[in-house]
A and B are shown apart, each in its own frame.
Chain A
Amino acid sequence: MARGTDFFGGFKLTFKHLARPRVTVGYPGEKRPKQPRQHGRHVLNRFEDGMEKCIGCELCAGVCPANCIYVRGLDNPPDHPVSPGERYGYVYEINYLRCIHCDMCVEACPTQAITESKLFEFSFTNRSDAIYTKAELLVDDDGNPKRLPWEDWREGEAAMTGGWMRATSPAGDAAFEGVVQWSGELGYGQRAPEGGQSGRRDDAATGTKSLRRAFVRHLQPVDVPADLSGPRAAIDRLRERLASRRRGA
């Protein structure tokens, strides 16, 4: 026979969670900060002098597992070259009905011409809108991504187009973690090196936290990584709070 207290015992978990911070936000009115390695829609970057970085080499098209990139190269017109060197991409299309945002194209690109922004909130009502052409992918004269009518850009998001780091650092060497490999173009996308895969999960570059860190108080003890528990983590948290207060001041 069940005892009366069991009834209230059932509410224990509920009350415990009532006191905890809320994790849901009023999307789409409000958005969570995006993760540093969030893969969104692509941009084609320019050099500081405005030249296009893409050389039309089709390496991105070759590596794309979804076969959604179409590139054609052409000789650079000698009088007004589009990109440095001999060749430039004169057709560049990505079909977002097929793209799985794996970022293989970004890894393959020898010139860091293609990177992904954090924008995933775009929807279309027909096929041709879903195929982004070069005119739409290429950043504008200031280095900002073009904003299409069906894309939901928020304040500050446009600056995060170069927020990119190779998932595999060169030669797979951990020594390259934390090294800036990406020099932004036209003043955009520059950011401090990412913490990497072995360091702490604090990312000064984007000011975002890993999900584990954000939800640490909601996780089962076994799921909390070692560097987020214990006195060490408490000191870190304190430091961070002080630092953010200083930033705010």
Chain B
Amino acid sequence: MTETRTSVTVTVNGRAVEAAPGELLIDVAERAGTYIPRFCYHPRMEPVGMCRMCLVEVEGPRGATLQPACYQHVNDGMVVTTDSPKAKKAQEGVLEFLLANHPLDCPVCDKGGECPLQDQTLTHGPGETRFVEEKRHFVKPIEIGPLVLLDRERCIQCARCTRFAAEVAGDTEIAFAGRGDLIEVAPSPEHPFTSVFSGNTVQICPVGALTAKPYRFAARPWDLDQVESTCTQCAVGCRLAVQSSGDRLTRVLGVDSDPVNHGWLCDKGRFTLDAVDGHGGLSDPLDPRARITSPLVRRDGTLVEATWGEALARAAELLRAAGEADGGVGVIGGAALTNESAYAWARVAREVLGTEHVDAQYGDGLDPRRVLALPGATIDDACAARVVLTLCGDPREELPVLFLRLRGALVRPGHDLVELAVGPSALHPLATVSIPVRPGEAHRVVDALLDEGRAPADLALDDDARERARRLLGDGEGVVVVAGRTNLAEDPSVVERALTRLADALPRARFLVALRRGNVRGAIDAGLAPGLRPGRVLAAGGRDTRAQLAALREGVQRAVLVLGDLVGNVIDRPGAEAALERADVVVVTGHGGATLAHADVVLPAAVQHERAGTVTNLEGRVTAVVPKVVAPGAAWPDVAIAAELARALGADLAMDSVVEAARAYESATGYPALSVLLDSTSEGRVAGSPSAPVARRPLDPMAFPGIRSAEWVGLGESAGDRSPPPRWPTSPRPRCPRCPDATPTASR
């Protein structure tokens, strides 16, 4: 066996730097404090060496030659000069070429003020133009998709967007067309740019060529204020930067979180800000787009506005009466809350209302006790796994950024996907083995897959595929099962039985449970689940959502406290309406919805970007959410509503602030609520693992334009300095642990 070197020494501007073999020169230099200008290079994508902005002098057999630092892997003894007159002239020359055909749109350009081209022109460009010819002209912004506009005059042909589409998202709806200086980014002629990841191309475009329709002309960078938070639109929990101008949310950008989203977001997470501002003041409480801004109480059959005192008193009256009657009360919903709110409501249910009938899932999830019993895997584990087994819906639709992460791993050699295909899924083209599963048969297919002998004929399984899958799975070593509800119409026990069987038969496999709703994992952990007390303590079972609705319909249960929109989310909508019709209903919600047609009391709550706290993603990682704008009207954060409702019922939760709730939660259960809340920009902690919160990597403004990264003392702040050093060294370029040197194959 040949010995592989673990480190090489490179000389950058006369300074010796240690590096890992195969690292890119641009990263090594940056770690050594020498910033090399760049446009096309992006740390989360493969380099292409197209823009030539990063030219540096590298000593070689033919003397010092100019080489692109982003395309050059370091090797031992390499001698590099980044600021020689020749390198500087080349960089200036490239910038002058880039600007030759670039319009002078800065004052009306959405990128103006945070534009890598502006910044690097100031730091590395020539002072004045020598170009007197007519510039290239295109029709000003064209719509290439429902959310994205393209201004081809501003494009510098860096191919970040097209590479993202082809390399990361795997859809080729945009590509280059034409050649020479008339080359342009063009949407596919067949269909517009409708990828669910289209917003990422806007974020990484180093100029204002791609702009997002919702943000167009909404603000300028200098009047934006920013916090770092977590997306709660689905259970992936992507880290994001939320920006507002004058107490109005204007934009969301993806923050590069190493364990979670690598800087990417889906368009759902990125563009749902108008949900927070209630679409400009819709006031019909039955419209799910409207915000509820005042407590409502039903009087003579209609919901009318009331004060908090009146509404809380009425809610307490209804819940107390029901609690004293037979069957009592129950609590449904809460998967969209923070951990602290979920904990507060769980305590209200258990300690104040005295009920075990608590369920955060609307009957579309899995039995939480079984979920918690499975050996857990993180997203990173799934991406490093030898074999990924999927038994879930289409991850691109349900958990979009999880799909990106999985895809990024699966296109590399050394990773196999065994797909129990419940329908056409976006991962299908990457599957090594794909076994079709019809609704209601998941457990039988899993049995047939794992059992020796012939499979039941009615399953119509391909013996060859079965054999290959069995071989790949082995005893489960290196296998991660991505498990979720395959079909919302079928009984959840079908998947649950399949998972139990898999856990038994593959003792070394681990499971990434793909529950979909925002903070459902955190709600379960906090005890908003039947048969689970806060901190994952098993208890005597209560009724889940389906059982509660049945009990309400039969009159066994009298009242229900709904946290969110029940009717709009359950599968059996008529059944839910019939149940609520007979019950006393108290709703705590930020948005309107069909549930309110049956509500007796409505308590307005703050929604995402308006509340502080922590949330837990599908892998169990706890991260912070930070409020950016003030909740409208009289809306309160859930923690406050829970505390006040408890008080109206005669109990004191001693939780008058989110911090108090987090402290109470952490001290009672050890759940990392307070520690994460107080370190809100960290990468968070996986609950149950002892690790301390890790600081996230500083963000290069050239790769993540628009995000203010506090740790980065870079170009944005010190224009004029030719090699501004990052204050903290960046971590080495992340490489897949299974295949450190492999380059991804475009598709398999």
Question: Do A75 and B217 form a contact, CB below 8 Å, given A57-B112, A58-B222, A86-B141?
Answer: yes
Contact A55 B107, beta carbon cutoff 8 Å? yes
Contact B107 A111, beta carbon cutoff 8 Å? yes
Contact B140 A57, beta carbon cutoff 8 Å? no
Q: Is A192 an interface residue (CB 8 A)?
A: no
Contact B220 A55, beta carbon cutoff 8 Å? no
Contact A59 B107, beta carbon cutoff 8 Å? yes
Chain B residues whose CB sits within 8 angstroms of the CB of A85 once the complex forms: 108
Mask: chain A, 61-90; 1 = CB below 8 Å from B; 0 = not? 110000000000111000000000111000
Interface centre among B217, B219, B223 (most CB of A within 10 A): B217
Q: Which residue of B lies closest to A57 (CB)?
A: B107
Q: Is A110 an interface residue (CB 8 A)?
A: yes
Question: Do A62 and B222 form a contact, CB below 8 Å, given A56-B217, A75-B217?
Answer: yes
Question: Do A57 and B141 form a contact, CB below 8 Å, given A86-B108, A87-B108?
Answer: no
Mask: chain B, 211-236; 1 = CB below 8 Å from A; 0 = not? 00000110110110000000000000
Minimum CB–CB distance for A77 against chain B, Å: 13
Contact B220 A57, beta carbon cutoff 8 Å? yes
Contact A55 B108, beta carbon cutoff 8 Å? yes
Question: Do A62 and B140 form a contact, CB below 8 Å, given A55-B107, A55-B108, A73-B217?
Answer: no
In whole angstroms, what is the CA distance A165 to B223 when docked? 28
Chain A residues whose CB sits within 8 angstroms of the CB of B216 once the complex forms: 75
Mask: chain B, 41-70; 1 = CB below 8 Å from A; 0 = not? 000000000000000000000000000000
In whole angstroms, what is the CA distance A61 to B113 when docked? 13
In whole angstroms, what is the CA distance A86 to B219 when docked? 15
Contact A58 B220, beta carbon cutoff 8 Å? yes
Interface size class of A (residues with CB under 8 A): 10 to 19
Question: Do A86 and B107 form a contact, CB below 8 Å, given A62-B220, A62-B222?
Answer: no
Chain A residues whose CB sits within 8 angstroms of the CB of B107 once the complex forms: 55, 57, 59, 110-111
In whole angstroms, what is the CA distance A90 to B220 when docked? 15
In whole angstroms, what is the CA distance A23 to B107 when docked? 46
Question: Do A62 and B217 form a contact, CB below 8 Å, given A55-B108, A85-B108, A87-B108?
Answer: no
Q: Which residue of B lies closest to A70 (CB)?
A: B246
Minimum CB–CB distance for A75 against chain B, Å: 6
Minimum CB–CB distance for A109 against chain B, Å: 9
Interface size on B, residues (CB 8 A): 13
Contact B223 A87, beta carbon cutoff 8 Å? no
In whole angstroms, what is the CA distance A111 to B106 when docked? 12
Mask: chain B, 187-230; 1 = CB below 8 Å from A; 0 = not? 00000000000000000000000000000110110110000000
Which residues of chain A in 36-56 are interfacial with respect to chain B, using CB atoms and an 8 Å cutoff? 55-56
B223 touches which one: A56, A62, A75, A110 (CB < 8 A)? A62
Mask: chain B, 529-545; 1 = CB below 8 Å from A; 0 = not? 00000000000000000
Question: Do A87 and B217 form a contact, CB below 8 Å, given A55-B108, A57-B107, A57-B108?
Answer: yes
Mask: chain B, 106-126; 1 = CB below 8 Å from A; 0 = not? 111000110000000000000
Minimum CB–CB distance for B676 against chain A, Å: 35
Contact A58 B108, beta carbon cutoff 8 Å? no
Q: Which residue of B lies closest to A63 (CB)?
A: B222
Minimum CB–CB distance for B545 against chain A, Å: 45
Chain A residues whose CB sits within 8 angstroms of the CB of B222 once the complex forms: 58, 62
Interface centre among B106, B108, B222 (most CB of A within 10 A): B108
Minimum CB–CB distance for B114 against chain A, Å: 12
Minimum CB–CB distance for A104 against chain B, Å: 14
Minimum CB–CB distance for A107 against chain B, Å: 14
Which residues of chain A in 81-114 are interfacial with respect to chain B, using CB atoms and an 8 Å cutoff? 85-87, 110-111
Minimum CB–CB distance for A199 against chain B, Å: 26
In whole angstroms, what is the CA distance A57 to B219 when docked? 9
Chain B residues whose CB sits within 8 angstroms of the CB of A73 once the complex forms: 108, 217
Chain A residues whose CB sits within 8 angstroms of the CB of B113 once the complex forms: 62
Minimum CB–CB distance for A79 against chain B, Å: 16
In whole angstroms, what is the CA distance A180 to B245 when docked? 38
In whole angstroms, what is the CA distance A194 to B106 when docked? 30
Chain A residues whose CB sits within 8 angstroms of the CB of B220 once the complex forms: 57-59, 61-62
Minimum CB–CB distance for B690 against chain A, Å: 47
Chain A residues whose CB sits within 8 angstroms of the CB of B141 once the complex forms: 86
Interface centre among A55, A58, A110 (most CB of B within 10 A): A58
Q: Which residue of A lies closest to B127 (CB)?
A: A171
Minimum CB–CB distance for B127 against chain A, Å: 9
In whole angstroms, what is the CA distance A246 to B217 when docked? 55
Mask: chain B, 125-158; 1 = CB below 8 Å from A; 0 = not? 0000000000000001100000000000000000
Minimum CB–CB distance for B103 against chain A, Å: 11
In whole angstroms, what is the CA distance A56 to B112 when docked? 13
In whole angstroms, what is the CA distance A62 to B107 when docked? 12
Contact A58 B223, beta carbon cutoff 8 Å? yes
Chain B residues whose CB sits within 8 angstroms of the CB of A59 once the complex forms: 107, 220
Q: Which residue of A lies closest to B246 (CB)?
A: A70
Which residues of chain B in 78-116 are interfacial with respect to chain A, using CB atoms and an 8 Å cutoff? 106-108, 112-113
Q: Which residue of B lies closest to A85 (CB)?
A: B108
In whole angstroms, what is the CA distance A73 to B220 when docked? 9
Chain B residues whose CB sits within 8 angstroms of the CB of A111 once the complex forms: 107
Chain B residues whose CB sits within 8 angstroms of the CB of A110 once the complex forms: 106-107
Q: Which residue of A lies closest to B220 (CB)?
A: A58
Q: Which residue of B lies closest to A109 (CB)?
A: B107
In whole angstroms, what is the CA distance A183 to B112 when docked? 26
Minimum CB–CB distance for A105 against chain B, Å: 13
In whole angstroms, what is the CA distance A74 to B215 when docked? 11
Chain B residues whose CB sits within 8 angstroms of the CB of A56 once the complex forms: 108, 217
Contact A74 B108, beta carbon cutoff 8 Å? no
Minimum CB–CB distance for A66 against chain B, Å: 15
Which residues of chain A in 222-241 are interfacial with respect to chain B, using CB atoms and an 8 Å cutoff? none
In whole angstroms, what is the CA distance A56 to B107 when docked? 8
Minimum CB–CB distance for A6 against chain B, Å: 64
In whole angstroms, what is the CA distance A59 to B112 when docked? 10
Sample (30) of A-B pairs whose CB atoms are under 8 Å apart: A55-B107, A55-B108, A56-B108, A56-B217, A57-B107, A57-B108, A57-B112, A57-B220, A58-B219, A58-B220, A58-B222, A58-B223, A59-B107, A59-B220, A61-B220, A61-B223, A62-B113, A62-B220, A62-B222, A62-B223, A73-B217, A74-B217, A75-B216, A75-B217, A85-B108, A86-B108, A87-B217, A110-B106, A110-B107, A111-B107
Please list the residues of chain B having a beta carbon within 8 angstroms of any beta carbon in chain A. Answer: 106-108, 112-113, 140-141, 216-217, 219-220, 222-223
Q: A55-B108, A56-B217 are in contact. List 20 more A-B contacts (CB 8 A).
A: A57-B220, A58-B219, A58-B220, A58-B223, A59-B107, A59-B220, A62-B113, A62-B220, A73-B108, A73-B217, A74-B217, A75-B216, A75-B217, A85-B108, A86-B108, A86-B140, A86-B141, A87-B108, A110-B106, A110-B107
Q: Which 9 A-B pairs have the closest CB atoms?
A: A57-B107, A73-B217, A62-B222, A87-B108, A58-B220, A110-B107, A86-B108, A87-B217, A55-B108
